[in-house]
Chain A
Amino acid sequence: MTAGLTTALGILAAATVLGLWWRRRDGRLRPSTGPVADLTDLGVRPGTPVTLLQFSSAFCAPCRVTSRVCAEVAARFEGVEHIEVDAEAHLADVRRLDIWRTPTVLVVDRGGAIVYRATGTPGKAQVIAAIAALLPAGAAR
């Protein structure tokens, strides 16, 4: 009985470490160094200053929150477009772009290059900070 309790406490301690690590990492926008990919079939229009391309799936609770964050940023800044695609309907693209989790948000610049990617729900302030350099001054509506 004590052995079982010790096992349980050990598992809880390990899970806590895992959870803290995940929380620190989740939603962080990381600079992306991948090659320029053709994203037009996913609805990205060349020439759009910033496209927030979000991959979602049906089995994904944080996708809705992420969708709202991206939509709010798109509404606030001129030249930002938010596109949400169903990852399951675009599995070939999911593999090509090395996406493993939903939600994943790709920040695409005017030339079609992926400049940032975030897995999990990014904070609104982080998204705004990341896209600021890609937008002309006075883009805020």
Chain B
Amino acid sequence: MMLDPRSPRFAAAVTTVVLILILVFRSGWLALAQAVVFAISAWSPGWSPYGLLYRALLASRLPRPTELEPAAPVRFAQFLGFVIIAIAAAGYLTGVTLLGLVFTGLALVAAFLNAAFGLCLGCEMYLGYRRLTGKPTPARVPAPLP
């Protein structure tokens, strides 16, 4: 699957604003809502709520994209975002505010770097993670004929 690269960038900008609101209001419920958004985007980028917003509000007013990018890196990054903000939501909702603060802060750094600089931290970390966890992934093989 391929994506208009401006869509995840727009999503990162919206996420940045939401994360700032979470920090300001210390809202565990807003963190939980953002976790759901990340989960949907990681599971099925076509149904990403911020992606739909981009398509509804901006896509028709902008020129067609000259390039498309693969969805896999974006999905990986959204999954990392989900894990981080889910921990933050758990922290806020169980009264461990410091946990919520630290993890929302981490997510804010990542989302802001993506929105403002086009740097995808999750994507950068992927190879380092694979190096440390060892075994090479099996290469793709042709499916056997029925």
Contact = CB atoms under 8 A, between A and B. Distances in A.
A3 B123 CA distance: 31
Contact of B24 (A8, A91, A101, A102): A8
B137 A16 contact: no
B58 interface: no
Contacts, number: 99
Categorize the interface residue count of chain A. 20 to 34
B105 interface: yes
A23 interface: yes
Nearest to B125: A101
A60 B123 CA distance: 6
A94 interface: yes
A7 B116 contact: no
A34 interface: no
A83 to B, nearest CB: 17
A4 B25 contact: yes
Interface stretch (B37-45, B47-55, B82-90, B127-135): B127-135
Contacts of B35: none
Contacts of A95: 131
B13 interface: no
A97 to B, nearest CB: 11
A18 B130 contact: no
Categorize the interface residue count of chain B. 35 or more
Contacts of A64: 69-70
Contacts of A99: 127
Nearest to B111: A15
A75 interface: no
B127 A57 contact: yes
Interface string A1-43: 1001101100110111011001100100000000000000000
B7 to A, nearest CB: 12
Contacts of B26: 4
B144 interface: no
Interface of B: 5, 19-20, 23-26, 69-70, 72-74, 76-77, 101, 105, 108-109, 112-113, 116-117, 119-120, 122-124, 126-128, 130-131, 134-137, 139
Interface of A: 1, 4-5, 7-8, 11-12, 14-16, 18-19, 22-23, 26, 57-61, 64, 87-92, 94-95, 99-102
